[in-house]
Amino acid sequence: AQSVAQPEDQVNVAEGNPLTVKCTYSVSGNPYLFWYVQYPNRGLQFLLKYITGDNLVKGSYGFEAEFNKSQTSFHLKKPSALVSDSALYFCAVGPRGYIPTFGRGTSLIVHP
């Protein structure tokens, strides 16, 4: 079985400050890891993925994520937060090619 934990329901950060949204996972074998973002009243949009290779993955809108195999984590980061980054963020994990399992989501609020 595979699972994802997003330990924070909400993350608050001031505009211009760095942000981190946490994710840990459990999966048999090598993981495929994903981050999606959901803006209000919209569907989820793909941000980035980790398959193999460099532990730091760069994605859309200036976001990046760091894969840490020993800690089974895949935290989402951005060096300087924007108010427009405020949204719901979902981490997901899947074995190769299979259907990803999503976390419960973390609400990111960026204050002006």
Partner 1 sequence: NAGVTQTPKFQVLKTGQSMTLQCAQDMNHNSMYWYRQDPGMGLRLIYYSASEGTTDKGEVPNGYNVSRLNKREFSLRLESAAPSQTSVYFCASSPNQGTKGANVLTFGAGSRLTVL
Nearer to partner 1, 15 or 102 (CB): 102
Using CA atoms, how far apart are residues 90 and 103, in angstroms rounded to an integer? Answer: 6
Nearer to partner 1, 19 or 48 (CB): 48
- Residue 43 class from Cβ within 10 Å (0-12 exposed, 13-18 middle, 19+ buried)? exposed
Using CA atoms, how far apart are residues 2 and 102, in angstroms rounded to an integer? Answer: 10
Tokens 């211009």 sit on residue: 16
Nearer to partner 1, 36 or 85 (CB): 36
Interacting span for partner 1 (CB under 8 A) from 18-26, 40-48, 56-64, 76-84: 40-48
For the four alpha carbons of 18, 36, 71 and 68, in that order, the dihedral sign comes to negative
Nearer to partner 1, 25 or 34 (CB): 34
- Work out how close the CB of 8 gets to partner 1 at its nearest, in angstroms, rounded to a whole number: 13
Interacting span for partner 1 (CB under 8 A) from 22-30, 66-74, 77-85, 98-106: 98-106
